[in-house]
Each structure stands twice: as structure tokens, then as C-alpha cells.
């Protein structure tokens, strides 16, 4: 597998500006699902925000169908999912505690990516024959 280096920047909670590089992760699988990744210092500690999407552009009808069938509970006990971004493709923002131990952080991110990949693959399988339900015969 090809390795991808993901740079994590610290984002200022108030200004939204990226301030400095704080770490880099070696990820070997499912990086195509990452839209962006950054850390934010919150009152309860540093949090890692990972925005996840589909690995390909989706058709208009698929956009709604994906949100209808994607179960964010797949992250229960592992991550918090905050409001999805309104983007060209569906996006979910997954938040976990930032770990200073990079190996642990890499494992946590890899696990979340694997969960997301399985869920999105299941969703695509579920919606493959549902276009007519979302297009109203257009």
C-alpha cells in the first residue's frame, strides 16, 4: 500500500486561521475520503476534526439519498459527528480527542476511515436502485 503523509495544522478557534503544523500522520488506506483535517484547542482539550466525504463526485439524487441512509451511529463511542457541511458532495465532520502519541492518533484515524469506508460502501449499495425515489421521474 502506498503511504500518504497527512499534515495536521492547529486552527485558531476564534479566527479560523491555521496557525502552525503540529503533527503529520502516515496513513496507508482510505485517505481518498478525507476532505481536510485539523486540530482545535477547545475548553475540554485539543480536538482533531476530520471532514470525510465520498471518494467520488455524486449525482444530485445521490446527495440526498446518501444523507438519508448514512448512519452516523457507526462512530458511536469512537467519535463525535457534528453537523455535516453543505458541499458539492456529502461531508461529515468527525471529532476525536487529539493524542500526542502519533502512533495512537494514526491508529484512531485509520479506524475512523475504515468505519467511514464501510458505511459509505453500504450506503452506495443500498441506494443503487433508488434513483426513481429521489428524482420523481424527472
* Average pLDDT for the chain: 94
**What band does 138 get if pLDDT is binned at 50, 70 and 90?**
low
Give the DSSP H/E element, type plus range, for residue 26.
strand 18-27
- The proportion of the chain whose per-residue pLDDT surpasses 90, expressed as a percent, equals 91
Using left for φ > 0, alpha for ψ between -120 and 50, and beta otherwise, residue 81 falls in: beta
- Candidates 118, 103, 119, 115; CA nearest to 27 is 103
**What band does 23 get if pLDDT is binned at 50, 70 and 90?**
very high
Section 103-122 average pLDDT: 98
pLDDT for res 88: 85
User: Greater confidence, 120 or 82?
Assistant: 120
**What band does 137 get if pLDDT is binned at 50, 70 and 90?**
low
Q: Is 90 exceeded by the pLDDT of residue 3? A: no
**46-97: pLDDT as tens digits:** 999 999 999 999 999 999 999 999 999 999 999 999 877 777 899 999 999 9
**29-38: pLDDT as tens digits:** 999 999 999 9
Composition of the chain by helix, strand, coil, percent to 5? 35, 35, 30
Amino acid at each position: 500500500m502506498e503511504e500518504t503523509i497527512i499534515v495536521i495544522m492547529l486552527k485558531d478557534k476564534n479566527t479560523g486561521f491555521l496557525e502552525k503544523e503540529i503533527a503529520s500522520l502516515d496513513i496507508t488506506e482510505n485517505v481518498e475520503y478525507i476532505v481536510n483535517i485539523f486540530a482545535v484547542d477547545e475548553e475540554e482539550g485539543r480536538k482533531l476534526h476530520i471532514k470525510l466525504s465520498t471518494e467520488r463526485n455524486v449525482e444530485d439524487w445521490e446527495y440526498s439519498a446518501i444523507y438519508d441512509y448514512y448512519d452516523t451511529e457507526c462512530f458511536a463511542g469512537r467519535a463525535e459527528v457534528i453537523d455535516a457541511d453543505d458541499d458539492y458532495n456529502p461531508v461529515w465532520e468527525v471529532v476525536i480527542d487529539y493524542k500526542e502519541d502519533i502512533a495512537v492518533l494514526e491508529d484512531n484515524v485509520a479506524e475512523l476511515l475504515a468505519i467511514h469506508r464501510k458505511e459509505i460502501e453500504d450506503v452506495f449499495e443500498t441506494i443503487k436502485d433508488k434513483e426513481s425515489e429521489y428524482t420523481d421521474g424527472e
